[in-house]
Amino acid sequence: MSAESPLDGTISVLVLRALLHGARLAGLEPAELFARAGLSSTALEPRVLADPDARVPARVAVRLWEVLPALSARPHFGLWLAEQVKDAPLTVAAWFILSSASVEEGLERTLAFQRLLHDQANGVLERTEDEITYVHRVGDAGFRAPGAAIEFGFAQFVLLVRRATGCAVVPSRVAFQHAAPASSDEPRRFFGTLPVFNAPRDELAFDRATRELPVVSADPALGELVRAHAERLLAELPNVSTWSARVLRALGTDLSRGGIGVEQVARALSVPTRTLQRRLKEEGTSFEDVADRLRRNLAERYLCDRRLGIQETAFLLGYSDVSAFYRAFSRWTGMSPARFRESRGAGLA
């Protein structure tokens, strides 16, 4: 795992608190939960849990998101948990939304401080004339949190918007990359619309009327106090902006453009090409190594998805022909893409 992996980062202790609350409701005490998840109990120290500004290892939360849905026997654990903790102590993101003048302003301010939730969060807001869309991302394009965690985050967004406006807001679009559940009744009930599953990215959209809705509790003075507190917390976060991490984010999902190279990335990062290459060398890597790492991570992820053929995978990764992709993948893993897919069971219908 690379040093820039989101698993090596930290998250707000409030996420851990929510998970522990859900575990207790499911009949699991924290010590038992951590033991069954194969985790050290260090994160359960009372002084850590009592501090709302504390940070805990991201890999702890990710592991709990992996095991808790099954241990709780709840197929829609993320949605269920969001409803259970909707009256819990507010996060900085919640204060931003509840003190802003409009839904759009609240989302903008929340995204500006998203690293307080996960220090490698880099989601974006996209706008069209008719919609505003939150696109969820953490770290580089090769990482994705468990589906229950993303459903929980989207559910919290929707609950906050409903609370802030006093309206039964329904998103104009909800999309998840993970597979559809056996029954979609609960997601449809919660969001008020049927989410799209197996989507190319995780996104939550609101129409123009919703994004312009006024917030009933708007309080500019409170918003400034929250901003000052958030800026202090943000300044205390560990610096994850290594040059290799910046290159990973700049590459993102643009690999399919094929011709993207160090010159284009340097231009996107507003540095001379030679400076970027020198900074990467100081970190013990190179542009080619970073791009290779991203391609390998994405290649393994795509090949485990039976919806994508090997030719489509090669195209998404920017290879001009399948044979070039075969050579690169064999160099990375010592096996062909077809053999890798077979070993993961992804080639079975």
User: Can you tell me the distance from the alpha carbon of 302 to that of 198, in angstroms, rounded to the nearest whole number?
Assistant: 12
The conformation of residue 279, written as its DSSP 8-state character, comes to: H
Burial classification of residue 203, based on how many CB atoms lie within 10 Å of its CB (0-12 exposed, 13-18 middle, 19 or more buried)? buried
E strand residue ranges, 136-268: 173-175, 203-207
Tell me, what's the pLDDT at 173?
96
3-class secondary structure, 214: strand
Task: Tell me how crowded residue 273 is: count the other CB atoms within 10 A of its CB.
Answer: 15
Q: Is the pTM of this model over 0.85?
A: no
Percent of the chain residues past pLDDT 90, beyond the cut: 38
User: Does residue 286 carry a pLDDT above 70?
Assistant: yes
* Mode of pairing for the β-strands spanning 173-175 and 203-207: antiparallel
> What is the three-class DSSP state of 55?
strand
Find the helix or strand (DSSP H, E) in which 316 lies.
helix 310-316
pLDDT, mean of residues 224-233 = 82
Q: Which domains does the chain have, with CATH numbers?
A: 6-236 (3.90.1520), 243-343 (1.10.10.60)
Determine contact, residues 247/288, Cβ cutoff 8 Å. no
**What's the one-letter identity of residue 309?**
G
Instruction: Return d(Cα 160, Cα 211) in angstroms, integer.
Output: 13
The pLDDT mean for the chain works out to 85
pLDDT category at 197 given cuts 50, 70, 90 is very high
pLDDT higher than threshold 90 for residue 349? no
β-partners of residue 133 are: 126, 205
